Structure 1
Amino acid sequence: MKAKRSSCVLVTVSLAALLIVSMFVAGCTSNGTTSTVATPATQTPAGAAAQTETLTLTGSTTVLPIAQAVADAYTKAHPEANIQVSGGGSGVGIQAIINKKVDIGMSSADVSAAQKAQDSNMNIITIAHDGIAIIVNPANTVQSISLAQVQQMYSGNITSWSSLSGAGVSNSNNQIVLVGRDSSSGTRTYFDSSVMKGVNDSMSMHEDNSNGAVLQEVAQTPNAIGYISIGYLDDTVKALPIKLANGTLIAPTVATVKDKTYPIHRDLYMITNGQPTGLANDYINYLLSPAGQQIVVAQGYVALNS
């Protein structure tokens, strides 16, 4: 009996000693002072995807097709980049930069002194050139127009196509339907400064919120006249050559915008708060590269160095 009791005591003591050692080792591992093996939660698997970085752009619907096409091309090579592009108009894009709501604002009009005063750190980057085309419905027989006539129409002083020689549609109603852009539009801002020259737009003008909306309304309205970026031109409307004072007709094309013979031409911009960094910097550098400028051309605009 004594032999058995001694054996039991020995086993019990051995188990207790083993338990104490185990607890000591566990304590050393948990406080990190002894163990050097990372837990599974802190290990990075080989070949893991890079962390997603987001870039946000908003503003001009003229610049939007360029911005989206560049984003699509960039993300093909950099799938970790999440680039979000939205419209709203140049005014929206500039204000979003002033309020630091986005990474890049897009504008098709010059930034005003008042807007610059709200953000002294504003960085304005020219990314392409563009022209504003005067468009009518294909049913209209008008073949050209002067900027003086356009101004007279949009001011409400000319209200009928019958007032223009050779103009009109095949119905008894020749009342001009004016189609323009809303107040946040950079295209509207440029049109008012370069064509209207301080003359107020007629209250009868339909205000659309994008180039695409103007294009669609003119395409569907026989008596309409509108203005859009040359990047949006297609065969659903007729783009009118501008008749200069000497009688020369200049059509709105990439070539005439490039050589600046077309009278309604402008620059397109992207705007950042200070010098761009990270993904914003990479995106803009790609846009300004030969590959990016080819995308500008493919979208129907004029590249910077073409």
Structure 2
Amino acid sequence: MKGFTKRAILAACVGAAMLISAGCGFNQNAQNTQLTYNGSSTLAPVISKIATDFTEKNKTWSHADSSLPDKDITIYVSSGGSGTGIKAVIDGTADFGLVAREVKDSEKAKIKDYNEIKVGIDALTIAVNPENPLYAIKDNLTKEEIIKIFSGEYKTWNQVDPSLPNQEIIVVTRDLGGGAHEVFQQKIMGSVEVTKDAIQAPSMGALVTKVKENPYAIGYASYGMLGQNKGQIVAFKVDGVAPTDETITDGSYMIQRPLLIVGKGNMGGVADAFTKYLKSEEGRKVIHKMGFVPVN
């Protein structure tokens, strides 16, 4: 298995959740040596990378914590969206759900002894190809302009500004039932629906690819993706505020969302050992390197 240690198994499967016996969620006992995470396609690669580093460093759980069994570290990470992650915890098909939005009260009510860990903050940036004609003349969009573009009220770029070409605006979104779109709908669109002509991308990576490929496309790219695709996509300021670590942390950039790990009850055993590493300086460095803002 190229890229993996012999003692550790780390799986990242985009688009489908692994159906694995979930154990007791957060209530891990000392004999449980397997962890499963499922959910957000934004957060899954981050947890996957941190899990890889953790397993390569420690090999066995006892090396990470002497009170734990001398067993190989096994961590599964899969993605299928924030809603899928929450459902996996509810259904018991994963120990932890990866969620890139606020968890609804109705969802919390379905998870016995609900608990969550906030590992970082992401933002949705209004992103285009660097050769986009609008970006050539200005770097700021008002909330009202964004609504008109994403709702389809503006159908061509010259409707945004008469100096621009009479080219169709290609709106790219995540799937409308996903966590990213919920955040965008809440923070920007309000009661106005996104145009039915929008291309719905199955993952944030697919959304960014569509924007990179077409100078007439526009989408809401994750802040992490913006950092990972420097020079290939660029972001507008929103109401005069650029997305930066500082503006996301202080809340002045409005389109932001938490990165959460949710589960049942109090942590213990192997879950506690991995979470301590995830929240350590080493884990925080990975979160930041992948383009997100870590939290204490």
TM-score, structure 1 normalization: 0.76
Matched, 1:257 2:237: no
1:150 corresponds to which residue? 146
1:272 corresponds to which residue? 263
> Aligned partners of 2:163 and 2:287: how far apart in 1?
34
1:88 corresponds to which residue? 80
Matched, 1:115 2:116: no
2:93 to 93, 98, 101: 101
CA gap of 1:58–1:166, structure 2 versus 1, over 3 A, is farther
Q: Please give the secondary structure, in 1, of the residue aligned with 2:108.
A: helix
Is contact 1:254-1:300 (8 Å) kept? no
CA offsets 1:226-252 (integer angstroms, 9 cap, x no match): 01211011221121111x2xxxx2222
Structural mapping, 1:54-73, within 5 Å? 54-73=34-53
CA gap of 1:281–1:216, structure 2 versus 1, over 3 A, is same
Is contact 2:123-2:243 (8 Å) kept? yes
2:54 to 74, 84, 102: 74
CA gap of 1:282–1:167, structure 2 versus 1, over 3 A, is farther
Deviation at 1:205, TM superposition (A): 1.0
> Aligned partners of 2:285 and 2:265: how far apart in 1?
26
Deviation at 1:52, TM superposition (A): 9.0
CA offsets 1:124-164 (integer angstroms, 9 cap, x no match): 21111111111112221223211211112222211111122
Q: Please give the secondary structure, in 1, of the residue aligned with 2:140.
A: coil
Larger Rg: 1
Is contact 2:32-2:270 (8 Å) kept? no
- Root mean square deviation, CA, Å: 2.0
1:206 corresponds to which residue? 199
TM-score, structure 2 normalization: 0.79
Q: Please give the secondary structure, in 1, of the residue aligned with 2:261.
A: strand
Q: Please give the secondary structure, in 2, of the residue aligned with 1:118.
A: coil
Q: Structure 1 stretches of 5 or more lacking a match?
A: 1-48
Higher helix share: 1
The structure showing larger relative contact order (alpha-carbon pairs under 8 Å, at least 6 residues apart) is 2
Deviation at 1:222, TM superposition (A): 2.0
CA gap of 1:196–1:66, structure 2 versus 1, over 3 A, is same
> Aligned partners of 1:167 and 1:265: how far apart in 2?
32
1:133 corresponds to which residue? 125
Deviation at 1:166, TM superposition (A): 7.2
CA offsets 1:58-106 (integer angstroms, 9 cap, x no match): 1111112221121011101222211111111101111111111101110
Equivalent position amino acid for 1:119 in 2: I
2:69 corresponds to which residue? none
1:177 corresponds to which residue? 170
1:240 to 236, 240, 261: 236
Q: Structure 2 stretches of 5 or more lacking a match?
A: 1-6, 9-30, 60-71
| Percent identity of paired positions between Structure 1 and Structure 2 | 31
Matched, 1:193 2:156: no
1:160 corresponds to which residue? 156
Stretch deviating more after TM superposition (279-288 or 185-194):
279-288
Is contact 1:100-1:273 (8 Å) kept? no
1:298 corresponds to which residue? 289
CA offsets 1:25-70 (integer angstroms, 9 cap, x no match): xxxxxxxxxxxxxxxxxxxxxxxx8999221111111112221121
Aligned residues: 249
Deviation at 1:291, TM superposition (A): 2.2
> Aligned partners of 2:91 and 2:198: how far apart in 1?
31
